[in-house]
């Protein structure tokens, strides 16, 4: 049960991070090295190790 709750929690954090990045203007995304179209991939890659 704990493992399931951990995965749900991480999934929610990932969605929140993706939403926060989507709200940033393009020039800030460029400064941190992420294209708008690659936000979902970047967030998934960041949280991938935590889902195991």
Query: Looking at residue 3, what is its pLDDT?
Result: 85
Per-residue b or e along 30-43, where b marks 16 or more CB atoms closer than 10 Å to that residue's CB: eeeebeeeebeebb
Residue 6, token pair as written in the block: 């951990």
Rounded Cα gap, residues 4 and 32, in angstroms: 32
| Residue whose C-alpha is closest to residue 44's, from 23, 14, 21 | 14
What does the pLDDT read at residue 51?
64
Q: What confidence tens digit (pLDDT) does each residue in 6-52 have?
A: 889 999 999 999 999 999 999 999 999 999 999 999 999 998 887 66
Q: How far is CA 22 from CA 3, 26, 31, in A?
A: 29, 9, 14
pLDDT (0 to 100) of residue 36: 95
Q: What is the pLDDT of residue 12?
A: 94
pLDDT, position 27: 97
pLDDT attached to residue 29? 96
């Amino acid at each position: 049960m704990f493992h399931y709750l951990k995965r749900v929690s991480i999934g929610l954090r990932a969605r929140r991070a993706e939403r926060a990045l989507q709200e940033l203007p393009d020039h800030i995304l460029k400064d941190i090295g992420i294209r708008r179209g690659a936000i979902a991939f970047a967030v998934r890659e960041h949280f991938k190790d935590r889902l195991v």
